[in-house]
Amino acid sequence: MRREFPFLALALALNFAMLVTLAASPHQDKPPQPFGPDAFSGRAVVQSGSPPLGMKLFACIDDCLIYKSEVVGIKEGGAYSRLVVNPTDRSLVGHSIHFYLANDFGRIQALETVDFAGATDNFTLDLNFSDTIPVPTPLPTVTPTASLPVPGDVTVTAIPRMALIVGAIALVLGMGILMSARRRAA
């Protein structure tokens, strides 16, 4: 029995060392879950009517600077399909998806929002927009107004005086050029 004691002590020490090593491993969260795109199809309605053909629909998570989807076009009757929300950042799961309808003049936001599931699934979602479709802002019309000089303004009298001085200089120069040209011709 004395011979087996060192082997037993060594085996117990190794088991204890392995147990301590296993207990010292870092804390592990749940294993990674499947992650993929959410795709949406449905109908868009703007103030109880269909949006015009050619309008663009896209989705953003939280803010369009964080994630913005590819743009899909609106079809007849406001139908849309294959609006894919596919961020690469897993931490966006559970964050809000906002939907926008846009044209060349601006965008409006849908009343509906959904949470990003990352479930690789297709969802049917009808979108309602309460704002009006953006239109170009008209340029302000400027009507010219005649303005009379203010009495006592010295610039009013300086302009004709300056014109007379410049005209006199031009006249003297012109006469000099004509006289020199006549002398050469003679």
Is 73 inside any structural domain?
A: yes
Residues in the chain: 186
At CB < 8 A and 24+ separation, what contacts does 47-50 make?
A: 47/129, 47/130, 47/131, 47/132, 50/76, 50/77, 50/78
Is 66 inside any structural domain?
A: yes
For 104, the domain range is 41-129
Is 85 inside any structural domain?
A: yes
Is 114 inside any structural domain?
A: yes
Is 64 inside any structural domain?
A: yes
Is 165 inside any structural domain?
A: no
- What is the value of pTM for the model shown? 0.59
CA pair distance 152, 106, nearest whole angstrom: 51
Is 91 inside any structural domain?
A: yes
Q: How many domains does the chain have?
A: 1
Is 154 inside any structural domain?
A: no
> From first to last of its 186 residues, what are the pLDDT tens digits of the chain?
456 667 667 677 666 666 666 655 566 565 666 688 999 999 999 998 999 988 999 999 988 999 999 999 999 999 999 999 999 988 999 999 999 999 999 999 999 999 999 888 999 999 999 999 988 888 888 887 777 777 777 766 666 777 788 888 988 888 888 888 888 887
CATH number for 101: 2.60.40.1120
73 strand-pairing partners: 56
